[in-house]
Amino acid sequence: MKKILIITIVLFFATSCELTDVVENNPPNNLVPENVIQNENDAKALLNGVYTTITSRTSAFYYMYTELIPSTLIGSMSRVGFGTAAGQFATNTMTFDNTNVRDYWLIFYKVIDLSNNVITLTEAFPDSEFTGNNKSEIIGEAHFLRAMATFDALRYYGQFFDQNSSLGIVLRTEPSNFVNRSKARSTVAECYAQIISDLDKAIADAPDFSVSYRASKTSAKALKAKVLLFQGKYAEAAVLADEVINGGVTSLEADYESVFSKGLNSNEMILMAHRDENSDVDDNNRKRFYSGRAGTTWFSTLMETDPRKPFTFSGATVLKTNDADNFRPTYFLRLSEMYLIKAEALAMSGATLADASVPLNIVRNRAGIGDSPATTLDELKDDIFNEITRELAFENGSEWFAAIRLGKAMTLKPAITSSNQYILPIPEEEITGNGALTLADQNPGYESI
């Protein structure tokens, strides 16, 4: 059979990539190892395509919306964009036919489906065609990317905050086709189990850390620590975050400005998306439209006197992720977050005030604001939330999910009056196009909208 041409794309130097609904469209019948993967380079190209999807022009729903949507939901940004669909995030009144909600869902599942193809096709190709550990490393990276996208889909569309909930997401662990496209929602516990399983595979088989724009064993450990925190497995989260902190792979920069001004050379980046002067153009990176979006409510008040403000936003203009000097990267994981995960996990697991304060104070002192003045664990939890916001604002929804975990969301934003608003509705197209779902499978609060 004729070999399908795969164009090797330099990792994270994004090119145009058409957004398609992997659930609604059948893959080619000839998508099999003997004509998609002819050699090791083809497998690498297939993997590179997953990364490119995360950062490409038409996939702005991943690299950009993972900043805009959660920040707008909690108010650290004022809006996602223009139009009715985008405006619903600012008022926390999304409807099931919201086009942004649909596109956000689709990009997560596109990354999941592409990762599934990498895993399935690479596993089927003979070991003899790969050098060294490259086959297992490619598969390990793909497991990480599937875990990341599955975790993101769960955080936005499933009741991630309730381990006993039946309202997880649709788990997909094989390439989607007309046979398996109809699939029911899994429970939240089943979703977490799948995510952890994928991360354990990545910890075992992904490459060692070498550059911050590729998945590695270190990024898999870091993401697993985060997932464990969301699960409420605080002792395990603290231990794993500590492993990353003391792993000798990354280290905190001496000052906050250097974290971002150094770009790819920053010592504390664990996983980030990056472009160069050729790919950071109007047609490919829409972060240049972030002007005027920084929130002006509780967020600006919290940041008012903080030394990190000049590197986070100016007036209402987002600076951190709209960093033109470093081609407007996206930050997924960095070391300071591991310190804050450790602090939160210790505080939530009944550790002493002194012990839980140690990792928090390391981040605070790097920022130049001194030790936490908290005298109780409750006060310390408040300080942890504030520090997550000041340190990690606009980074992968950090302030939004911290507000949910630490019970701050409804206080900070009066538009949030129910936990139903912590997640988005399942898109209309998924319910009508997935034969295993009905209107009864819609998330609470969106059934009659």
pLDDT of amino acid 221: 98
Q: Which residues contact 255 (CB under 8 A, 6 or more apart)?
A: 366
Handedness of CA 415, 418, 423, 428 (dihedral sign): negative
Q: Which residues contact 336 (CB under 8 A, 6 or more apart)?
A: 252, 259, 268, 363, 366, 391, 392
Cβ neighbours of 197 (radius 10 Å): 13
Residue written as tokens 């950009």? 64
pLDDT of amino acid 11: 34
pLDDT of amino acid 448: 56
Burial of 277 (0-12, 13-18, 19+ CB in 10 A): exposed
pLDDT of amino acid 449: 47
Query: What distance in Å separates the CA atoms of residue 336 and residue 362, rounded to the nearest whole number?
Result: 9
pTM value is 0.91
Exposure string over 164-194, b if 16+ CB within 10 A, otherwise e: eeebbbbbbeebbbeeebeeebbbbeebbeb
Q: Which residue, 341, 346, 397, is CA-closest to 229? A: 341
pLDDT of amino acid 26: 38
Quick one: how far is CA 141 from the chain centroid?
A: 15
pLDDT mean values, one per 10 residues, the chain (449 residues): 31 34 39 70 95 79 91 93 90 94 95 97 94 97 98 98 98 93 97 98 98 97 98 98 97 96 94 82 70 85 96 89 85 97 97 98 98 98 98 96 98 97 97 95 84
Backbone φ, ψ for residue 239 (5° rounding): -65, -45
pLDDT in tens, 364-419: 999 999 999 999 999 999 999 999 999 999 999 999 999 999 999 999 999 999 99
Domains of the chain: 36-438 (1.25.40.390)
Cβ neighbours of 426 (radius 10 Å): 25
Angstrom distances, CA of residue 411 to CA of 92, 304, 398? 14, 19, 17
Cβ neighbours of 203 (radius 10 Å): 20
Query: What distance in Å separates the CA atoms of residue 81 and residue 74, rounded to the nearest whole number?
Result: 15
Encoded tokens for 262: 């150094």
pLDDT of amino acid 326: 84
381, 389 Cβ separation under 8 angstroms: no
339, 363 Cβ separation under 8 angstroms: yes
